[in-house]
Structure formats: C-alpha cells, structure tokens
Amino acid sequence: MESQGQIGSELDDLVRSHEAHNNRFFNGDPDFEIWAQDDAVTLHGGFGESGRGWAQVQRILRGAASRLSEGRMTFTPIGGQIMGDLAYLVGLEQGTVRLNGGPPQPMKLKVTTILRRSEGRWLRLHRHGEIVR
C-alpha cells in the first residue's frame, strides 16, 4: 500500500507487523501478546472455528498454531485504514507451511484484521481468516 504522510507510514508499520506475526504463528507460536485480551475480542479462524472473548480466542489460536510448523508466509494487503484508535487490514496471506507435521505445502488465506490502539500499541480485536482452496 502506498504511504501518504504519518497515517500511511503507520499503516505500513501495521502491514509489516502483521506479516511478522504471521511468520511466528505459522511456525507454531500463537503470539498472544498482540491480541486484545478481553471480552470484545473475536475470531473466525482459518480452520473453521470461531470464538468470542479472550478465553475462547486463546484456545482457538493455541490449537491452530499447534498444527503449524516451518511456515513462511507473505502478506499482500489489498486495503486498510486507520481511523483514530481503530484500524483494519484486508489482504492475502500465502506461502508454505507444514500442517500437522506433514510435508511442506502451499497455503493461501483471505484475511481481515481489525485492530484497536491501546496504550500506544496496536492490538488485534478481530481476525477473519479463510483458506482459499
């Protein structure tokens, strides 16, 4: 995405952070610290499970990350915006990953992420990931 001033630069930073998180997640690390850990957090996970509230989302993230290893994903944004203390990113994640210990295989997801700024940090409030078949 093209930067336009301070907000554009901050959006570029969110894109880079999103991709860095993906590469931890697709290597088995659920990376909990980047999530808002309260009742407002929601998830539609890439493996089909959905949840609301930190306890459910944490359980889903832990389970999904445990299925993944040796992943390398890139994030191609198709849209995003920062509006005060809320932001969203929409794009494609694609690369290769070992699923359930099997051989490396390609994976592609359509994703939407909503973030909330809290004490100067961007935290995930919602993620919808859908595997592209």
pLDDT digits (tens, 9 = 90+) for 52-105: 999 999 999 999 999 999 999 999 999 999 999 999 999 999 999 999 999 999
Q: Which amino acid is at 60?
A: I
Average pLDDT on 8-28 reads 92
3-state secondary structure of 47: coil
Domains of the chain, by residue range, sit at 5-131
Would you say residue 28 has pLDDT above 80? yes
**What pLDDT is attached to residue 116?**
97
Of 8, 40, 20, the closest CA to residue 124 belongs to 40
Q: Is the pTM of this model over 0.75?
A: yes
> Is 60 within 8 Å of 75 (Cβ atoms)?
no
Q: Which CATH architecture has domain 5-131?
A: Roll (3.10)
**Distance between CA atoms of residues 105 and 88, nearest Å:** 28
> Is 72 within 8 Å of 96 (Cβ atoms)?
yes
